[in-house]
Amino acid sequence: MQRQDDYAGGMAAALQQGGIHVPAMLLRTVGELGIAPEDAMLLLQLMAYRELEGIEFPTPDQLGRRMGRTPEQIGGQLQRLLRSGLLEIEDMIEPADGLQAERYSWSGWLLQAASCTATREGARPVRRAPDAAQSNVQVRGEAAAGAAPPNLFVLFEREFGRPLSPMELETISAWIDQDGYADELIRFALKEAVFAGKLHFRYIDRILLEWSRNRITNVDEARAQAQKFRGRA
């Protein structure tokens, strides 16, 4: 019994050390982007250093000790990732002392993963929601009735009139993979933001959160909720 308690205590202590959030989109596209397993692990180690320890620019020696590789091997991997555009080195200002420093950025990985996902999803037929063509609030540029609607990433870029930032791409991915929002609900939330003239991600996120709190799971329920809200306004 004591042994089980010790084991449980050790596991609990280990779990309290935290973890890192990795969008599922990144993991799903590793093979399609041709990222070698050891390079994918290196990118995850860079994330861990930043999120868990606040180290923005770990050295090849630090990374090598964690991965069981020499600093020279790590240096070669970093150069490969930099050449591929998956990894970048950015200038930054240290908040503590105001001095200029450098940090690793994997925004290129996010963008390539999003582009890969958009290409794959755009090529695959998507069944149109039954009520989408009948909605009184149409997203500008949406496909004609009966045609496959555009991929979510493409739809948001089209509506915002610009490429999405890495953070915005990650937000959409989190809505799908982490929060579990249905594709049709995200599309309808975008329509609601267009209708309200509040086209920004924070507003759309609040809409989705409010629907989730009210156990709304489909567009019919969301539309009824929106009409009820407008009736009170």
**Does 175 map to a domain?**
yes
Note whether 91 and 166 are same-domain residues. Answer: no
Of the candidates 209, 173, 171, 170, the residue with the CA atom closest to the CA atom of residue 189: 209
Domain that holds residue 81: 21-108
Burial label for 106, CB within 10 Å (0-12, 13-18, 19+), is buried
pLDDT at 139: 38
- Amino acid at position 97, single letter: D
* CB-CB contact of 167 with 194 (8 Å): no
pLDDT at 148: 47
Per-residue pLDDT for the chain (233 aa), expressed as one digit of tens each?
556 555 555 545 544 556 777 888 889 999 999 999 999 999 999 999 998 888 999 999 999 999 999 999 999 899 999 888 899 988 888 777 778 888 899 888 988 888 888 777 664 433 333 333 333 333 333 333 344 456 788 888 888 888 777 788 888 888 988 888 999 999 999 999 988 888 899 999 999 999 999 999 899 999 888 887 766 55
Note whether 157 and 226 are same-domain residues. Answer: yes
Task: State how many domains the chain has.
Answer: 2
Q: pTM above the 0.85 mark?
A: no
pLDDT at 98: 76
Question: Which CATH number fits the domain that encloses residue 93?
Answer: 1.10.10.10
pLDDT at 187: 92
Burial label for 99, CB within 10 Å (0-12, 13-18, 19+), is exposed
Return d(Cα 103, Cα 56) in angstroms, integer: 5
Tokens of 130: 């039954």
CA angle 185-153-187, nearest 5°?
A: 20
pLDDT at 49: 93
**Using the 8-state DSSP alphabet, how is residue 103 labeled?**
E
Measure CA 110 to chain center. Answer: 8
pLDDT at 18: 65
Note whether 148 and 85 are same-domain residues. Answer: no
Domain termination site, one of 92, 108, 124: 108
Q: How far apart are the first and last CA of the chain?
A: 62
**Does 13 map to a domain?**
no
pLDDT at 164: 78
Reported in sequence order, the residue ranges of 75-186 that DSSP labels E, i.e. its strands, are 88-93, 100-105
Question: Which CATH number fits the domain that encloses residue 145?
Answer: 1.10.10.630
pLDDT at 128: 35
